[in-house]
Amino acid sequence: MTTEDIYEKIKPVFSKVLEHNNFELTESTNTNDVDGWGSLTHMIIIEEIEKVFNIKFKLLDLMTMENVGDLVNAIKSSTD
Amino acid sequence: MNYIDNLQESIEKHYNKNAFFIDDTFFTYKDLAIEISKIRITINQTLNTSEKLIGLIANDDIKTYAAIIAFWLEGKAYVPINPEHPQDRNETILKSLETNYIFDSTEKASFHGFTLLFPSKTNNENIDIKANSIKENDLAYILFTSGSTGTPKGVPITYNNLNAFIKAINFDGEFKLNSSDRCLQMFELTFDFSVVSYIFPLLEGACIYTVPRHSIKYFYIYKLIKVHQLTVLSLVPSIIHYLRPYFEEIKAPQVRYCSFGGGVLYNDIIQDWNKCIPNSKTFNYYGPTENTIYSSYYKLNKENKTHNGVISIGRPLNEVTYIIIDKNNKEVPIGKSGELALSSNQLTPGYWKNEQKNKASFFFKEYNEESLRFYKTGDLCFRDSENDYIYLGRIDFQVKIRGFRIELSEVEFHAKSKCVKKVNMVAIDILNDLGNAELALAIESEVFDTSEILENMKEKMPDYMIPAHIKFIKELPYNSNGKIDRNQLRTYLK
């Protein structure tokens, strides 16, 4: 799966969970940059992404995730 | 001995040891002592001795922690201000203090009419951490919590209160840190669990690991536990609710102590969590801010005492007196539920400039031939035949979200205040799928655009007080007493 494909698939997950479209997702986007992206919504986003890609993240991946770039890389390595 | 002298002694004894790990950097006790000394220079140059209170912008850095100790050494109290909270709210708090001074390590704070303090810029590395003489009734800190009339209420805690608390924990002996411990500090400084998370490690020369404000806390905490092999954890229950799907991957045998507080603790999750920390002593602490951090605790075992799956809050600390009372402040028999009232040397002298609230919350009562001053906690509890206490819920409209106390009426007040439609609104706590409490707002009306209401609430209240869900409802459910039936409302909102 290409990086672009992944971005295309995760954007609707963010919109659905956060209930708005008022954000851009780039490699360096983090929780500070997006309204409503916090402790609880992060958990729901992770669960939704696991469903969409049919993967299960490891806690080790999640604990070091600092931005959308890290998230996309974790999806990539799980789907490869 | 008081805790401030002990702090000085511990800092001097552990100069070469790490005191803090903040934002990927270690700071030694000597670094801390130098920062404290610089802040003392500033205080001595600007404030006269009669100025007792200083607003403290609660940043996650070494200077902010150093400021707390510097203020104490000078006999002054800190009043933590969260820079992420609305300016309006912070100004209300600062003005009620009648202080002219705010300390901000980032030097950015701007409050009209206040003088901004920051560490002295001299290159002076002389260390001065000897305490000035402190009167026992001087204040150590004031914390502000949600108030029902739309203004936050202040809880002042004296040096004496804090001394009594530290003495009670040490007397008990169940929780005893040493200088090789690595301790988690996950709390905002506006929340009193932060005080236990920094003060016990500092008193023993241990290292404190802080959690940045904007991190996803539960993952960051796990990272600290794993990478830095933390040995002492103080947590709110919601952290383990978030981590629960990953318990199988968590192995932390080095953890010696794990303390919970700030919300109800369920037995089923704790049984699973204890497999992640197999060598830990685990405690369920209970205590209102008014009685200085912890008032009682239950030590967890293989088999725990529970009521409806919720773990007991145990027995009061040494020198804390608990009674269960009815509406007339009369004690009820063992096993009967009523309001928990407590009395001790840890008890606040009273809410900050709030006589009305003080009259409602404190009362004197004969107890064992002594006249004691009691505080009514607002918590519904009962005492069982083994003298353990069980928490059942609130008797009023206060809830806890992420460990923060919220008066639902304050949320309703700000929701209604800018709404042009005169409709009824009810704020209520509901449990999400993870078992964590969230705030919802039910509006009795046809659907309308709520963006203005939300905007106004965000201007007036911190983020944890903003409802996560807004639902419209044709008619609010009432019970036979004509009061809103909150239990039924909860089921509508699920």
Q: Are A53 and A80 in contact (CB under 8 A)?
A: no
Nearest to B214 among A32, A58, A59 (CB): A32
B29-46 and B62-73 are packed helices; what angle lies between their axes, rounded to 10 degrees?
60
Look-up of token digits 């920390």: B277
Closest CA to B380 of B438, B433, B459, B327: B327
Contact between A39 and B217 using a beta-carbon 8 Å cutoff = yes
Predicted confidence at residue B394, as pLDDT, reads: 83
Q: How far is A64 from chain B (nearest CA, A)?
A: 7
Considering chain A, what percentage of its residues have pLDDT values greater than 90? 71
3-class SS string, B134-184: CCCCCEEEEEEECCCCCCCEEEEEEHHHHHHHHHHHHHHCCCCCCCCCEEE
Q: What are the DSSP calls for B262-322, one per residue?
A: SS--BHHHHHHHHHHSTT-EEEEEE--GGG-S-SEEEE--SS--EETTEEP-BEEPTT-EE
- By DSSP bridging, strand B370-383 and strand B362-367 are antiparallel
For B371-396, how does the pLDDT look when each residue is reduced to its tens digit (9 = 90+)?
999 999 999 999 999 999 999 888 87
Contact between B434 and A65 using a beta-carbon 8 Å cutoff = no
How sure is the predictor about B366, in pLDDT bands with cuts at 50, 70 and 90? very high
Contact between B216 and A39 using a beta-carbon 8 Å cutoff = yes
Q: Is B376 on the interface with A (CB under 8 A)?
A: no
Predicted confidence at residue B422, as pLDDT, reads: 78
Closest CA to B464 of B392, B410, B394: B410
Predicted confidence at residue B127, as pLDDT, reads: 93
The CATH code that applies to domain B3-299 is 3.40.50.12780
Residues on chain B touching A43 (C-beta within 8 angstroms)? 242, 434
For A17-40, how does the pLDDT look when each residue is reduced to its tens digit (9 = 90+)?
998 899 999 999 999 899 889 887
Nearest to A64 among B223, B402, B434 (CB): B223
Which run of H or E residues covers position B232? strand B232-235
Residues on chain A touching B217 (C-beta within 8 angstroms)? 39
Look-up of token digits 């529970």: B306
Q: Are B137 and B349 in contact (CB under 8 A)?
A: yes
Q: Is B24 on the interface with A (CB under 8 A)?
A: no
Q: How far apart are CA B313 and CA B295, in angstroms?
A: 9
Look-up of token digits 């830990």: B280
Q: Which CATH architecture has domain A3-79?
A: Orthogonal Bundle (1.10)
Q: How far is B414 from chain A (nearest CA, A)?
A: 20
Q: How far apart are CA B422 and CA B200, in angstroms?
A: 51
Q: Is A59 on the interface with B (CB under 8 A)?
A: yes
- Residues with Cβ within 8 Å of residue B111, at least 6 apart in sequence: B55, B87, B90, B91, B94, B102
Q: Are B258 and B281 in contact (CB under 8 A)?
A: yes
The average pLDDT across B49-64 equals: 95
Judged by CB atoms within 8 Å, which residues 236-255 of B form the interface with A? 242, 246, 249-250
| pLDDT at residue B465 tops 90 | yes
Spell out the domain ranges in chain A.
3-79
Contact between A43 and B219 using a beta-carbon 8 Å cutoff = no
The average pLDDT across B229-242 equals: 94
Q: How many CB pairs under 8 A join A and B?
A: 37
Predicted confidence at residue B236, as pLDDT, reads: 92
| pLDDT at residue B238 tops 90 | no
Spell out the domain ranges in chain B.
3-299, 401-493
For residues B234, B237, B239, B241, the Cα torsion angle rounded to the nearest 10 degrees is 150
| pLDDT at residue B205 tops 80 | yes
Residues on chain A touching B222 (C-beta within 8 angstroms)? 59, 63
Length of chain A: 80
Single-letter amino acid code for the residue at B341:
A
Closest CA to B97 of B153, B38, B46: B153
Predicted confidence at residue B263, as pLDDT, reads: 85
Residues on chain A touching B458 (C-beta within 8 angstroms)? none
For B108-123, how does the pLDDT look when each residue is reduced to its tens digit (9 = 90+)?
988 988 999 998 888 7
Q: How far is A32 from chain B (nearest CA, A)?
A: 7
How sure is the predictor about B481, in pLDDT bands with cuts at 50, 70 and 90? low
Contact between B246 and A40 using a beta-carbon 8 Å cutoff = no
Predicted confidence at residue B115, as pLDDT, reads: 93
Tokens of B249: 């991957």
Residues on chain A touching B223 (C-beta within 8 angstroms)? 63-64
Q: Are B392 and B347 in contact (CB under 8 A)?
A: no
In CATH, what class is B401-493?
A: alpha beta
Least confident of B258-262, B341-345, B470-474: B470-474
Predicted confidence at residue B434, as pLDDT, reads: 77
For B135-190, how does the pLDDT look when each residue is reduced to its tens digit (9 = 90+)?
888 999 999 988 777 788 999 999 999 999 999 999 989 999 999 999 999 999 99
Contact between A58 and B216 using a beta-carbon 8 Å cutoff = no
> In this structure, what are the phi and psi dihedrals at residue B136, rounded to the nearest 5 degrees?
-60, -30
Nearest to A58 among B217, B249, B468 (CB): B249
Residues on chain B touching A60 (C-beta within 8 angstroms)? 249
Residues on chain A touching B226 (C-beta within 8 angstroms)? 63
Residues on chain A touching B219 (C-beta within 8 angstroms)? 59, 62-63, 65
Q: Is A42 on the interface with B (CB under 8 A)?
A: yes
Nearest to B222 among A30, A40, A59 (CB): A59
Predicted confidence at residue B1, as pLDDT, reads: 60
Closest CA to B233 of B249, B243, B244, B222: B222
Predicted confidence at residue B407, as pLDDT, reads: 84
Q: How far apart are CA B362 and CA B160, in angstroms?
A: 19
Tokens of B473: 């409802």
User: CA nearest A40 in B: which residue?
Assistant: B242
Single-letter amino acid code for the residue at B267:
N
ipTM, interface predicted TM-score of the complex: 0.91
Helix (H, G, I), strand (E, B) or coil at B44: helix
Contact between B216 and A32 using a beta-carbon 8 Å cutoff = no
Nearest to B218 among A31, A32, A39 (CB): A39
User: What DSSP character marks residue B331?
Assistant: B
Contact between B216 and A31 using a beta-carbon 8 Å cutoff = yes
Q: Is B364 on the interface with A (CB under 8 A)?
A: no
Between the alpha carbon of residue B330 and those of residues B359, B363, B365, the distances in Å are 17, 12, 9
Q: How far apart are CA B103 and CA B68, in angstroms?
A: 10
What letters, b where the CB count within 10 A reaches 16 and e where it falls short, cover B370-387?
A: eebebbbbbbbbbbeeee
Q: How far is B448 from chain A (nearest CA, A)?
A: 17
Q: Are B321 and B367 in contact (CB under 8 A)?
A: yes
Least confident of B31-35, B124-128, B246-250, B447-451: B124-128
Predicted confidence at residue B25, as pLDDT, reads: 98
Q: Is B451 on the interface with A (CB under 8 A)?
A: no
